[in-house]
Chains A and B, each alone.
Chain A
Amino acid sequence: MKSETGFDHDLYRLFPTHRPRPEGEVEELERIWENPKGWGLLTVVNNNYIGFFYVATAFLFFLLAGILALGMRVQLAAPLLEVLPQDTYNQFFTMHGTVMMFLFAVPMVEALGVMLLPQMLAARDLPFPRLSAFAFWAYFVGGLSFFASLFVGLAPEGGWFMYPPLTSIAFSPEINADFWLLGIGFIEISAIAGAIEIIVGVLRTRAPGMTLDRMPMFAWAMLVFAVMIIVAFPSVILCTLLLEMERAFNWPFFDPTRGGDPLLWQHLFWFFGHPEVYIIFLPAAGLMSMMVSTVARTPLVGYRLNVLALVATGFISFGVWAHHMFATGMPRVSTGYFSAASMAVSLPAGIQVFCWIATLAAGKIRWSTPALFIVGSIVVFTMGGLTGVMVGMVPFDWQGHDSYFIVAHLHYVLIGGMVFPMFAAFYYWNGMTSKNALSERLGRWIFWLMFTGLHITFLPMHLTGFMGMPRRVYTYLPGRGFDVLNLISTVGAFVLATGVLLFLVDLARRFRFTTDEDAGNVYGGGTLEWLPTGMYSTRSIPLVRTREPLWDDPDICDDVAEGRYFLPNSATGLRETIITSPINAEPQYLQLMPGPSAWPLAAAFFTASFFLSLTVQGYLFAAASGVIAVACTLRWLWETDRPVAQTTADIGAGITVPIAITGPSSHGWWALNTLMVVMGMIAIMAVFGYLYLFGIHPEVWIDPPPVPQTAGIVALLALALVASWGSRRWLAARQAGTFAGQGPWIMSALAAILTAGALYWDITGWQQAGLDPVLTGHGAIVAGLLSLQGCTVAIGLLMAAYLGYRSGRGLVLAPASVTLDIVARFIAYVAVQGMGFAILTRLFPGS
């Protein structure tokens, strides 16, 4: 194999090593990775705990949303029932969909990633443990606050996709819609934070030798999942911001009477909304691929084909969003494109299903509870997929749109594609976190109750849909043929719920959380998460030579536990892990990792408080919360860029690597680039909104400010770019290890101030041109773009001030500082974005 980084692959022959390790190394690892107890658990950042908290919280939301579903089914059990008043029913179905999609499905797969990935990759932890902790706490606090709106009658009631004009201020004047818009926008920030962590974790913290070709399928799936989040979620963040601005400031983005368009919301929402289905499905498919292999006791058939299918699904899923809009009267050729892509995306999904079937056929199945859920999932998901192909056809969709047929279809897809694999995974990986295995006998009961309950509930809905029953109605008239079918669905829902209840009983009886006395590899999996582990993950980080190392090397568990592989001790006396290259996983450097901290929790709490206060229009409290949240975040970051005296470390067998580097090879560089992709996607979607509104209502467009002014703004931003680049060069030119003086940070601050000046000029220019954001869609969208630029400029200024404070404390050392590197590059991004916005809005369509 050709080396990717210049690392000599012959060095791999040194492993496993043979010399006995010194005494006390394990004890030192235990001491370094020890977590606080009692209330101190709130400060833990280790993935074993955060992952478990995350999974438990996501499952709690699954139960809560399920209870709402039971309420709805009781209401619909017979015609003209009044168990739930109409408004409450509307809140129930909105919260059921929203909680299942935003607070259960995505966080659950992200949670499983946080919990399982470090062990599967044999990393000590994910690369940014405090970011994981922040993501979890933001989700926990924000999610519970959002759900609590139901108890005060303020829950949103516009359906989980919140279409305007129903959700505009004219038709939803109360703050119910604001809870959704601000709450979901905030929770998506948490999802994006987790996605950045997962991308960098999968690409940079794999065990040496674990090439992309040897990566567990779940890691592949999580990589595609996280990239999809990075691309798709900015769209929903943008549209929630736009609708909130319309509601708060009367800027008519979605008001057609003033040059806006409600279909803009649908485009933005579904650009996120349909990939969201695959965002949920793909990680579950990754779990399935791993479990199928174990229950059939044979390697997965078509590993590379499966990877190709994952990537293909990830791409093609971004070409199907408007199939949710077939009934809106789009041009016929446009609908044809989306129809074709909707059918095409079923091909890679089909490839995966056939790979699973082939694996089951090739091996010898052990009929355990995970095996039942796996086979059940294949059956149910295939049924849902087939009805998906049906609604992908435009004429059929016109008939089935907004009927119970769609409700049946989406539940078959989501339960088969995500819920059943999740239950299979609970049983399969329970041995990693519990002292006892879950009960196989109860597990079979649970499976059959859920499997039959699912069909009794949702199969009749295909018929009620065909017979014309619309979704989202709180009751129906007798004598239309809906009565019996609805009653059957209600009975089925309770059978399904009984299965879930029995699972809770099983958990209560058998599950006992542990990090070191776990039940172990109950089903005989062959991947690295089943190596003996402690809080520090594995004692030593193994060299990976095959896809199922535990099946192919019977001695690997003992060798790892004896410290015969990489990093058998703590090379620096601190928390650390090996950063490897992205393709061939060659060791590159040692990353120092932060320990427990209360700051991520505090930052998450006050960020949630900021959004909640905005929702209830407590602006003063929101401002205070925002300031405290920023202070907590900066305090948390303060410790993460620590200058260390030691520059290299021995990671085993005499192999020496550097410690904590900067630049394109560093994991921090990758994380910032990923964040800039997120911000870039928000900007791209905003530009799409600008062009879309111009295409729909060009008559409200006014003449832009004069061209020389535009040239001046671009020149200012170009100067900002030069200054940000100059600050890094200034630092690089100083003698290594010395304090570089105040010059570099002043250059960065100058760059930030230039971006602020350019923004001011841009805003005043538009004001002089007579643009009013309240009057027209043109005004609203330009003001929206300027607001977006304003947010990034403000962050840039804040970062420059933070850099100045660090520099004042003598912490910016030559030749490279992670903090300066990040601040300068972020400000450069702000300048580029500002140029793009100014050029687009002022020169297109022109006067």
Chain B
Amino acid sequence: MAGDFHTRQDWITLALAFSVWFAHFMIVWSISIAFPGMAAGRWLALPVTLAAFGGLWWLWRRRQDKTLASVSSLSVLIAAGAIAFSTLSPLIG
């Protein structure tokens, strides 16, 4: 794994990427219990997911270390994968 790993921004990106995942998780879950068994509980999750991907895209653009194997890149990718995986639930649930 490459990367300088010494800058504050690496760690901020890491923490923010997983914070985006957590915020997305809590919001879509709250929607699902606010609208149990209703279509709104599923459809409202999609704009939240798009917003979360938007946040991750912003983090991706402002990385200092652009290599794929850096801490910041991998954290954004893992968070994106976890969000996409979660979103399967309203799509097919």
Contacts and interface: CB of A to CB of B under 8 A. Distances in A.
Contact of A311 (B3, B45, B75, B82): B75
Nearest to A331: B36
A332 interface: yes
A212 B26 CA distance: 30
Contacts of A302: 1
A319 B74 CA distance: 20
Contacts of B26: 319
A332 B93 contact: yes
Contacts of A315: 18-19, 21-22
A650 B59 CA distance: 42
A337 B28 contact: yes
Interface in A289-344: 302, 304-305, 307-308, 311-312, 315-316, 318-319, 330-334, 336-341, 343-344
B1 to A, nearest CB: 4
B55 interface: no
A211 interface: yes
B14 A319 contact: no
B37 A311 contact: no
Contacts of B5: 211-213, 304
A584 interface: yes
B14 to A, nearest CB: 6
B34 A695 contact: yes
Contact of A337 (B3, B8, B11, B29): B29
A308 B32 contact: no
B13 to A, nearest CB: 11
A333 B19 CA distance: 22
Contacts of A338: 29
Nearest to A311: B14
Given A2-B6, A302-B1, A337 B89 contact: yes
A318 B82 CA distance: 13
Contacts of A312: 18, 75, 78
B6 A341 contact: no
Nearest to A1: B6
B32 A331 contact: yes
A583 interface: yes
B60 to A, nearest CB: 16
Interface in B26-43: 26, 28-29, 32-34, 36-37, 41-42
Contacts of A344: 81-82, 85-86
A334 B32 contact: yes
Specify which of A211, A315, A330 lies most central, judged by the most chain B CB atoms within 10 Å of its CB. A315
A331 B42 CA distance: 11
Given A304-B1, A308-B75, A316-B82, A340 B89 contact: yes
B41 A304 contact: no
Contact of A333 (B3, B8, B93): B93
B93 A316 contact: no
A311 B17 CA distance: 11
Nearest to B35: A331
A304 B3 contact: yes
A308 B15 CA distance: 10
B32 A316 contact: no
Interface in B50-76: 71, 74-75
A47 B22 CA distance: 36
A213 B6 contact: yes
A551 to B, nearest CB: 20
A312 B22 CA distance: 11
Interface in A535-588: 583-584
A581 to B, nearest CB: 10
Nearest to B29: A337
A92 B88 CA distance: 42
Interface in A319-372: 319, 330-334, 336-341, 343-344, 347-348
A380 to B, nearest CB: 26
A340 B6 contact: no
Given A312-B75, A316-B21, A336-B93, A211 B6 contact: yes
A212 B11 contact: yes
Interface string A1-29: 11010000000000000000000000000
Nearest to B21: A315
B32 A337 contact: yes
Nearest to A583: B8
A334 B75 contact: no
B21 A333 contact: no
A341 B32 contact: no
Contacts of B37: 331-332
Contacts of A307: 71
Contacts of A2: 6-7
A336 B90 contact: yes
Contacts of B86: 337, 340-341, 344
Contact of A695 (B19, B33, B81): B33
A336 B89 contact: yes
B28 to A, nearest CB: 6
A1 B8 CA distance: 12
Contact of B25 (A304, A341, A343): A341
A58 to B, nearest CB: 30
A341 B1 contact: no
Contacts of B15: 311
Contacts of A583: 6-8, 11
Contacts of A343: 85
A490 B45 CA distance: 49
A341 B29 CA distance: 12
Given A304-B5, A331-B32, A336 B88 contact: yes
Contact of B71 (A1, A304, A330, A695): A304
Contacts of B21: 315-316, 319
Nearest to B70: A304
Nearest to B2: A304
A129 to B, nearest CB: 28
Contact of A340 (B34, B36, B85): B85
A330 B26 CA distance: 15
A315 B29 CA distance: 16
Interface in A447-488: none
Nearest to B37: A331
B71 A333 contact: no
A27 B1 CA distance: 46
B93 to A, nearest CB: 4
B17 to A, nearest CB: 9
A340 B88 contact: yes
Nearest to B31: A333
A308 B14 contact: yes
A311 B19 CA distance: 11
Given A583-B8, A584-B6, 4 more contacts: A304-B1, A340-B85, A344-B82, A583-B7
Interface of A: 1-2, 4, 211-213, 302, 304-305, 307-308, 311-312, 315-316, 318-319, 330-334, 336-341, 343-344, 347-348, 583-584, 695
Interface of B: 1, 3, 5-8, 11, 14-15, 18-19, 21-22, 25-26, 28-29, 32-34, 36-37, 41-42, 45, 71, 74-75, 78, 81-82, 85-86, 88-90, 93
By Cβ-Cβ distance, the 6 closest A-B pairs, closest first, are A336-B89, A315-B18, A331-B36, A336-B93, A213-B5, A333-B32
13 contacts: A308-B14, A308-B78, A319-B26, A331-B36, A332-B37, A333-B45, A333-B90, A337-B25, A337-B32, A339-B89, A343-B85, A344-B86, A583-B8
